[in-house]
């Protein structure tokens, strides 16, 4: 059985911009060796960051190659609860990232991300992160 992985928006942006060849190689390897899951919120983030209609069209074609995942009945509730847990500790964690973490846990996926605050989320949410290849 292949590993199940969510590639976070931060990695996709780097990958599309070819900003880091080591990370691009890691993503390329994962694309061929793992099952890539894409939460709908990541699609929205990618489209939001597009610079042209052409980029939006490319994103639409791109996402059709992966398993698009939605939320379960309690996903948003659990994401809000995770965010609230951080708030009680005096930390602000983006609700979108909490949602991605909760979705990863529900789908039994690891997350590849460049966002350093996911280390903190990893401990609280019980998710598994993949270390990005960056120099």
Residue pair 96/85 in contact (Cβ under 8 Å)? The answer is: no
Q: Residue 60: which domain range?
A: 4-130
The pLDDT confidence band at residue 20, using thresholds 50, 70 and 90, is confident
Residue 66 resides in a domain: yes
Q: pLDDT category, 135, cuts 50, 70, 90?
A: low
Domain count along the chain: 1
Task: Give SS3 for 105.
Answer: helix
Mean pLDDT of the residues in the chain? 91
Q: Report if pTM > 0.85.
A: yes
Lowest mean pLDDT among 35-39, 64-68, 118-122: 64-68
Q: What is the pLDDT of residues 85-102, one digit of tens each?
A: 999 999 999 999 999 999
In a domain, 84, yes or no: yes
What pLDDT is attached to residue 59?
85
Q: What pLDDT digit, counting tens, does each position of 23-64 carry?
A: 888 998 998 999 999 999 999 999 998 888 988 888 888 878
The single residue listed with the structure tokens 């390897």 is 29
Residue 122's pLDDT is what?
93
- Band (11; pLDDT cuts 50, 70, 90): very high
Is 135 a member of any domain?
Answer: no
Question: In Å, what is the CA distance from 129 to each residue of 72, 105, 117, 123?
Answer: 21, 11, 11, 10
pLDDT of residue 72: 87
Within-domain flag for 18: yes
CATH of the domain at 39: 3.40.50.1010
The secondary structure of residue 34, as a DSSP letter, is S
């Amino acid at each position: 059985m292949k590993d199940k992985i969510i590639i976070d928006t931060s990695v996709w942006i780097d990958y599309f911009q070819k900003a880091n060849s080591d990370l691009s190689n890691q993503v390329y390897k994962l694309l061929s060796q793992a099952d890539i899951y894409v939460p709908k919120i990541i699609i929205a983030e990618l489209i939001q960051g597009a610079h042209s209609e052409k980029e939006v069209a490319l994103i639409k074609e791109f996402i059709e190659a992966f398993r698009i995942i939605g939320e379960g009945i309690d996903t948003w509730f659990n994401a809000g609860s995770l965010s609230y847990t951080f708030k009680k500790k005096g930390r602000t964690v983006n609700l979108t990232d909490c949602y991605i973490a909760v979705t990863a846990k529900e789908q039994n996926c690891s997350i590849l991300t460049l966002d350093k605050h996911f280390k903190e989320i990893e401990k609280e949410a019980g998710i598994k992160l993949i270390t990005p290849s960056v120099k």
